[in-house]
A and B are shown apart, each in its own frame.
Chain A
Amino acid sequence: MNKEKIKAIIEWSLAILLIFIVIKESPYISYYKLSPEAAFERSERTYYYGPSEVVENVELDDVQIFLSKYKDWFSATLVNKYAGIFWGPGSGVGGLEIKEDQDITHSWGGTSINEDYMLWRYYGIVTNPEISKVELDVAEGYGWDEQIPVEDIVTLDYQLKDHRMFLFHWNKVEDNYLSIALRGLNSDGEVIYKEDVR
């Protein structure tokens, strides 16, 4: 064997060894997962929370929302897509306590996904078994202290499923909604819960 060949073998061995070390150790690689579910599970695990039961998965552009429950807590956790193929932890991990003495426990959060996408989510869980539909009144472009004419109010609705969680989401860059009121309706369409959420 000539000198060149030996050098080539040593360099290739070093290159392969380094690839293994990078895959195992580098924080750049180990931070990401190839599936959104794996990223979600790891997000909860490293937050010392869960594993929660995913009741609904909402797939959006470059982001997924996991509506989930864990013991006395509920959450709407995000996982973000990177470089088109990788998934990593996003905001909203860790739950909020379900208040059993209230008809509805809810929360909201805004997360900037990219320049044109500000994901706004309004979510919660319903404990009153009479409520079968949740409505959220919103209006575009108003400040929280402004008078809003009735014709400018838009009502979003969510038909509850067995898991009793609900989610409204929009892109705040496109729809600059102000949340006004949250209502719970029974199966006859009567309002049995109403809360000013402005």
Chain B
Amino acid sequence: MGKWIRRLIIIACVIALIPNIYSFFSSLTNGLPEGIKEKVNNGDAVLIDLDKKINLENDEISFKHLVVAEDETSLIFEVRTNESGWSFPENALELRDKQGNTYRGTGGSSSGHTWGRYAINQYEPLKADVETLVVEFDWFDRMFQTEFSLDQGGL
């Protein structure tokens, strides 16, 4: 009797943890999406590694890469959340440069994990001679701003 109870508990727990197990393994192989990788390898896009973490309340926004192509600019970031709930409002991240140009968001995609979200935001192509990009989060009374240099990544 006790044998079956404990085994049932173990099986039920493992089933409840399937998303966690999946997230764990997918984070081991966490690379760039194939489409972007191909573009970078073909020389159609420039990959700039970013390494900047911003704390937003109890969560952490971790900016990973900027992919600059002729037809679009992609900002790749992770949101590490402290508790589950609503997903991060990706379109509240605005992109502009120091010369005063703003870049409209043209799309994006994101995937949910047990630790948070992996997101790619797409914006209009950058103007010529841009040296520093500014990413701004503006959401109700929450806001932050961070800068990236296109020469060496994070400033």
Chain A interface (Cβ within 8 Å of chain B)? 8, 11-12, 14-15, 18-19, 21-22, 25-31, 42-43, 45-49, 70-71, 73, 89, 93-95
Contacts and interface: CB of A to CB of B under 8 A. Distances in A.
A46 B142 contact: no
A44 B56 CA distance: 14
B83 interface: yes
Select the residue from B13, B19, B81 with max chain A CB neighbours within 10 A: B13
Contacts of A27: 19-20, 84, 114
A193 to B, nearest CB: 27
B138 to A, nearest CB: 11
Given A14-B10, A43-B86, A48-B56, A25 B142 contact: no
Given A11-B7, A19-B9, A25-B114, A42 B85 contact: yes
Contacts of B84: 27, 30-31, 46
30 contacts: A8-B3, A14-B10, A15-B6, A15-B10, A18-B10, A18-B13, A18-B14, A19-B13, A21-B17, A22-B13, A26-B16, A26-B17, A27-B19, A27-B20, A27-B84, A28-B16, A28-B19, A31-B84, A31-B85, A45-B57, A45-B85, A46-B81, A46-B85, A47-B86, A47-B89, A48-B56, A48-B89, A48-B142, A49-B142, A71-B141
Nearest to A32: B84
B10 A45 contact: no
Task: Report the contact-size class of chain B (Cβ under 8 Å from the partner).
Answer: 20 to 34
Contacts of A45: 57-58, 83, 85
A48 B10 contact: no
B16 A29 contact: yes
A22 B85 contact: no
Interface in B10-68: 10, 13-14, 16-17, 19-20, 56-58
A71 to B, nearest CB: 6
A70 B141 CA distance: 10
Contact of B86 (A14, A46, A70): A46
Nearest to B5: A15
